[in-house]
Amino acid sequence: MKIDVLIAEIGSTTTVVNAFNGVKEGNEIEFLGQGQAPTSVQEGDVNIGLKGAVESLKQYLDVDVLEYDEMFATSSAAGGLRMTVHGLVYDMTVRAAKEAALGAGANIHLVTAGKLRRTDLKKIKNIKPNIILLAGGVDYGERDTAIHNAELIRELDLDVPLIYAGNIENKEEIKEIFADSKAKLYLVENVYPKIDQLNIEPTRKVIQDVFEEHITNAPGMSSVRDMVDGPIIPTPGAVLLASKVLKEDMGDLVTIDVGGATTDVHSVTEGSEEINRILISPEPVAKRTVEGDLGVYVNMRNIVDLIGIQELADRMSIYKNELEEIIENHKPIPKSDIEKRFVEELTLEAVLTAVQRHAGKLRNLFGPSGKSTLAEGKDLTKVKYIIGTGGALTRLAKSKEIMSMIAKNNKGDGLFPTREAKILIDNYYIMASLGVLSKKYPEAGVALLKKSLGIN
């Protein structure tokens, strides 16, 4: 059987392969099916998992031979893209650098503001980051902090790619500092070139390029790279990319991805003019937040603690000891009705908490001239669509009902999506794949996404 495109999602635990036909212009776009297998990092070769997923796909399609014209891939194998971020002032350059890193699909393990201390350097060594992002100072502004931090990081003698995205005046100095180091240096435009001005897209692009060049050397990944056409990008970055492509076609949106370990929220919206006029500090059009404590399997107990075990038992109309037994025997994929009910409550709490953390809010200030209202954080009030993806929201029967609670959960000061926002589900669970596909075939990517979302 001949297929146009295969797209592999190489995760930390599972590898999925999706098959598509008709991606060339003028053809009928079709999602053929999906195969999956354990990623096989522990076996020392992720290629084993990829081959297993292809075999699974062949069984699904009931074919002995599978040929394809092109293959693309995303990866979060080996724990994803670990980064540390270091800037000057937290609410300015540090936050801008953090937005760039998260939007590129990174998992941020350490954020520091100001001059690095010995304890910070110890943490960097223990984290063993895949990439270090160094920023600090607006262009032609403060210089010393970034130079100080660069010199300390250089002394660590790490064989880790370093991206400098700070004050433009420091570039030559940073070059000198890392001239003879193991670290490969990337010089990028300042993420915060002027007060209240973000410039994060150049850094996002370089982070993904660095990921491809340096991080795909996980065991067996080199052979995967030989099979793939185009770049291998971080899976969360692919979801944000898909959201950005959809926004251009459909309008402002927010994508919620509830997984076993984390809950990610991706929003693509300029917000309202009214809120922008009173916004304390700028927000990126495309924003990603990752809640590492909110997962419906690995981090299930964190969510149970957020709700409270007695409150959760009351919601499920069961006794506390029954709930404790369900918690003790919790599985990655719920089977019985009561297990599904349990995961629905976990998912609801994960969605509401993650959106509350992602969205901005209004603040009332009182001064000599009376009350004034300011806004801080991301404005989601103009979002037209709320999209659910990830294992939980694409498989639970009450996913739309869960996401409809977002607007109802607004206590009046949150910049949440309104009740008018339409709720859509990524029924095929292919959003990350189509983010990758859209880099080369944007029209096909949008068409397939719309099919998965149930839009004609």
Give the per-residue pLDDT at 25.
66
Write out pLDDT tens, residues 241-288. 999 999 999 999 999 999 888 899 999 999 999 999 999 888 999 999
At 221, the pLDDT band (50, 70, 90 cuts) reads: low
Distance CA 285, CA 282 (A): 9
Which one has a higher pLDDT value, 335 or 230? Answer: 335
Angle at 402 between CA 324 and CA 418, to 5 degrees: 145
Amino acid 215: pLDDT: 58
Radius of gyration of the chain (CA): 23
pLDDT digit string (tens) for 144-187? 999 999 999 999 999 999 999 999 999 999 999 999 999 999 99
pLDDT band at 366 (very low <50, low <70, confident <90, very high): confident
417 φ, ψ (degrees, to nearest 5):
-60, 150
Q: What is the torsion angle, in degrees rounded to the nearest 10, for the CA atoms of residue 237, residue 239, residue 109 and residue 150?
A: 20
Q: Quick check: 33 and 68 in contact, CB under 8 A? A: no
In this prediction, residues 213-226 reach a mean pLDDT of: 66
285 and 382 Cβ atoms separated by less than 8 Å: no
- How much is the pLDDT for 219? 61
Percentage with pLDDT > 70 across the chain: 95
Q: Looking at per-residue confidence, does 359 or 441 come out higher? A: 359
Predicted confidence at residue 83, as pLDDT, reads: 92
Q: What is the pLDDT of residues 22-38, one digit of tens each?
A: 887 667 788 999 998 87
